[in-house]
Amino acid sequence: MGERGVIETKDLVKAYGKFIAVDKLNLRVDEGEIFGFLGPNGAGKTTTILMLLGLTEPTSGAARICGFDPTREPLKVKRITGYLPEKVGFYEDLTATENLEYIAALNNLPRDVTSRKISELLDMVGLSEMSGKKVGTFSHGMKQRLGIADVMIKDPKVAFFDEPTAGIDPEGIDQVLTIITNMAKQKVTIVLSSHQLHQVQKICTRVGILSKGHLVAEGSVDQLGRETIGGGKFRIEVQVSEPTSKLVKSIKNIKGVTNVESSGDLLLICCDKDLRPQIARTVVDSDSLLVQMKIEEYGLDDIYMKYFREQ
Ligand SMILES: Nc1ncnc2c1ncn2[C@@H]1O[C@H](COP(=O)(O)OP(=O)(O)OP(=O)(O)O)[C@@H](O)[C@H]1O
Ligand SMILES: [Mg+2]
The predicted model gives 63-76 an average pLDDT of 95
Ligand 1 pocket test: pick from 47, 214, 308 the residue with the most ligand atoms within 8 Å of its Cβ: 47
pLDDT at residue 74 tops 60: yes
Taking the CA of residue 115 as centre, how many other CA atoms within 13 Å lie in the half-sphere pointing to its CB? 2
Please tell me whether residues 113 and 259 are part of one structural domain: no
Ligand 1 atom 30: residue of nearest CA: 42
Question: Which residue lies with its CA nearest to atom 31 of ligand 1?
Answer: 42
Q: From the CB of residue 86, how many other CB atoms can be counted at a distance below 10 Å?
A: 13
From 23-32, 60-69, 100-109, the region with the lowest mean pLDDT: 100-109
* Ligand 2 centroid to residue 234 C-alpha, Å: 32
Instruction: Tell me whether residue 307 is in a domain.
Output: no
In a domain, 62, yes or no: yes
Q: What is the pTM of this model?
A: 0.84
* Residue positions counted in the chain: 311
Are 114 and 65 contained in the same domain? yes
**Beta strand pairing status for 34-38 and 189-193?**
parallel
- Tell me which residue range forms the domain holding 25: 7-219
Q: Are residues 106 and 187 both part of a single domain?
A: yes
Q: Say how far apart CA 180 and CA 129 lie, in whole Å.
A: 22
Residue located nearest, by CA, to atom 12 of ligand 1: 21
pLDDT per position as a tens digit, 108-126: 888 877 889 999 999 989 9
Separation of CA 44 and ligand 2 centre (Å): 7
Strand extents, DSSP E, the chain? 7-16, 19-29, 34-38, 60-65, 81-84, 158-162, 189-193, 206-211, 214-219, 234-240, 257-263, 266-271, 290-297
CA dihedral 298, 302, 307, 310 (to 10 degrees): -110
Residues 74 and 155 in one domain: yes
Verify that 103 and 181 share a domain, yes or no: yes
166 in a domain, yes or no? yes
- Ligand 1 center to 60 CA (angstroms): 17
Write the CATH number for 69. Answer: 3.40.50.300
- Ligand 1-lining residues (CB < 6 angstroms): 16, 21, 39, 41-47, 86
Ligand at minimal distance from the CA of 42 is 1
The alpha carbon of 46 and the centre of ligand 2 are apart by a number of angstroms equal to 4
What is the rounded average pLDDT for all residues in the chain? 91
Whether residue 183 has pLDDT greater than 50: yes
The number of folded domains in the chain is 2
Identify whether 93 is part of a domain: yes
Element (H, E) at 142: helix 140-152
pLDDT tier, 97 (very low <50, low <70, confident <90, very high otherwise): very high
pLDDT (average), residues 258-262: 90
Helices 221-228 and 300-309 cross at an angle (nearest 10°) of 50
Residue 1 is predicted with a pLDDT of 46
Q: Kindly list the protein residues that place their beta carbon closer than 5 angstroms to ligand 2, a single-atom ion.
A: 45-46
DSSP code, position 77: H
> Ligand 2 center to residue 93 CA distance, Å?
27
